[in-house]
Amino acid sequence: MPGFSSIYALATYAFDPLHQYWERESTQRRVGGLLIFVFLLSLGAIELNRQGLLPSQFTHLVPSSHYMAISLAFTLVLILEVVSLIFTLPCSISRAVGKQFEILALILLRNSFKELAEFPEPITVAGHMDAVWRLLADGGGAIAIFGLLGVYTLLRYRLEESLRGGPRLFRFVASKKIVALVLLCVFLVMGLENARLFVSGQPTFHFFKNFYTVLIFSDILLVLISQRFLPEFRAVFRNSGFVLSTLLIRLALTAPPSTMC
């Protein structure tokens, strides 16, 4: 089918340069430098706000706790990991699911650091034991996921798609690249919309929870694509199990603290 072949080729030509640029060592160094700069800048802005030196139009955008700079840094790390997840999708579903669990661990760590906003400066736990228990619960969950990811990584090499090279493999990978490109566009639109709401002073939505909902649908689409190229029961059952794990991640993110403990 010439029409589909051109679409596969176009998706490959659009996706591969973006992927190569993102994975480039120089790009990762610049991104790391940007994270350091934003972290130090946020600390400085928070201190200026505490001293009443910020212009009035910015005071409602800048928190008053220095600990929120840590939360901002982890939010940026999460955003970078989500981008890496999108670029991982065409590699294999099992690898992408592993990346999603890595992101879940980082979300739990970020939630732990967000609890620091409940503490005074200098820090003391007196009168803040509820925040301490929530911090320990999220941090302990992140450590548990980190340990389980080591086991999953060892098992994952036996779960990779067994499709041999050739035109069929090219179409299979190109189909997943189309999904990744669409997902990247959705990610950018959601991020820009949330930023617009924040700057305008309107309530923002929970970006990562909403994006994981989008991931559930994209994972199901990937299962259907795999069904077309890998119709064996073993592959379909395995990939459907990966989608179920994504759904469990989404449920974990929306569970109340008492349920997640």
Q: Where are the domains of the chain?
A: 2-260
Contact predicate 35/77, CB 8 Å: yes
- Residues in the chain with pLDDT values less than 70: 1-4, 156-166, 253-261
Largest CA distance in the chain: 69
DSSP 121: S
Is the sign of the CA dihedral 79, 80, 85, 90 positive or negative? Answer: positive
Give pLDDT, residue 256: 62
The per-residue pLDDT for 165 is 58
Q: How many CA atoms lie within 13 A of 111 on its CB side?
A: 25
Give pLDDT, residue 257: 56
Residue 21 burial by CB count (10 A; 0-12/13-18/19+): exposed, middle or buried? exposed
Phi, psi of 139, rounded to the nearest 5 degrees = -65, -40
Residue 233 dihedral angles phi and psi, to the nearest 5°: -60, -40
Distance CA 110, CA 167 (A): 43
This model's pTM is above 0.85? no
pLDDT at 157: 63
User: What does the pLDDT read at residue 22?
Assistant: 92
Q: What is the DSSP letter of 128?
A: -
pLDDT at residue 187, rounded to an integer: 93
Q: Can you tell me the distance from the alpha carbon of 80 to that of 175, in angstroms, rounded to the nearest whole number?
A: 23
What is the pLDDT, as a whole number, of residue 27?
93
The structure tokens 């469990």 sit at: 248
Residue with tokens 């080591």: 150
Q: Which residues contact 156 (CB under 8 A, 6 or more apart)?
A: 94, 95, 98
The Cα–Cα gap between 150 and 180 comes to: 25
User: Do 162 and 229 meet the contact criterion of CB atoms below 8 Å apart?
Assistant: no
Q: What pLDDT shows up at residue 259?
A: 41
